[in-house]
Amino acid sequence: MKRKKMWVIIASAIAVVGIGFTVVYFGGTASKAAITKVEAEKIISSQYPGSLEGDIQKQENNNYYVASIEHKGKQYEIKIHEKTGEVIQLNEVSTGNKDDRKASEQKENNDTNGAENSEQASERDKKQDNNAGQSVVISEEKAKELALEEFAGTFDELELDEEDGRFVYEVKIVHGEDEAEITIDAFTGEILFTEIERED
């Protein structure tokens, strides 16, 4: 009888360890799952106006997707992190020949296909994240101009932020005792939100 209890306890312990290992293993790999091309396309379509040009390309060595958008006669290149879905870079591309752009993209792919360890890739991703604020379409000057058109006054403060994977300018304008905080889409220049505080 004691032997039977001992085997039941050992079997239970092995089952608990097995279940624990399964949860840790599958839970850890599930959190590292990459977004699909379709999900990347949905992110781009929901956050940026314009039409996608061509197919979204996955850059295996760089951990991001690259897409090209046309909006109001201009071409833009967007890079989306393959794990998080965050926009890591947005650049206006010269409106030169499409074949020239494809050739430069192919050259970039060939340059990055060399041996690259994960430490170098991680360092490059950090630099891209830090430079992402500089990769917006609407300049700070244009954002100030748009804010002053929305609310007349004196420019006080401007900050570039990321909200829901989208870059926005938060501009503060002061007029006498009144103060306005205006949120502007850094890609389109659209006024997303205006909050005016009036002193009575």
120-173 residue pLDDT tens: 444 444 433 443 444 578 889 999 999 999 999 999 999 998 887 788 999 999
pLDDT tens for 103-112 read 445 544 444 4
Task: Tell me if 116 is assigned to some domain.
Answer: yes
Residue of 13, 119, 101, 109 whose CA lies nearest to 58: 109
- Tell whether 161 and 126 lie within a shared domain: no
Based on the domain organization, do 41 and 125 belong to the same domain? yes
177 plus 151 within the same structural domain: yes
- Rounded-to-integer distance, Cα 171 and Cα 167, Å: 13
The answer on pLDDT for 32 being more than 60 is no
Instruction: Classify residue 30: in a domain, yes or no.
Output: no
Phi and psi at 136, nearest 5°, equal -95, 160
The pLDDT, as a whole number, for residue 154 is: 93
Quickly state the pLDDT bin for 182 (edges 50, 70, 90). very high
pLDDT of 34 strictly over 60: yes
Residues 113 and 46 in one domain: yes
Provide the CB-side half-sphere exposure for 11 (13 A, CA): 6
Q: In the chain, helix, strand, coil percent, each to 5?
A: 45, 35, 25
Number of H helices, E strands in the chain: 5, 8
pLDDT on residue 144: 94
**Same domain as 160, residue 103:** no
Q: Which range marks the domain in which residue 114 is found? A: 37-134
3-state SS string for 138-190: CCHHHHHHHHHHHCCCEEEEEEEEEECCEEEEEEEEEECCEEEEEEEECCCCC
- In this predicted structure, the answer to whether residue 44 has a pLDDT above a threshold of 60 is yes
pLDDT band at residue 180, thresholds of 50, 70 and 90?
very high
Q: Are residues 127 and 73 in the same domain?
A: yes
Q: Are residues 151 and 187 in the same domain?
A: yes
72/123 same-domain check: yes
CA angle 183, 184, 189 (to 5 degrees): 165
CB 71 within 8 Å of CB 90: no
What is the pTM assigned to this prediction?
Answer: 0.46
What's the number of domains the chain is made of? 2
Q: Looking at the domain assignment, is residue 31 inside a domain?
A: no
Of 104, 134, 164, the last residue of a domain is 134
Higher pLDDT, 117 or 196: 196
Same domain, 50 and 126: yes
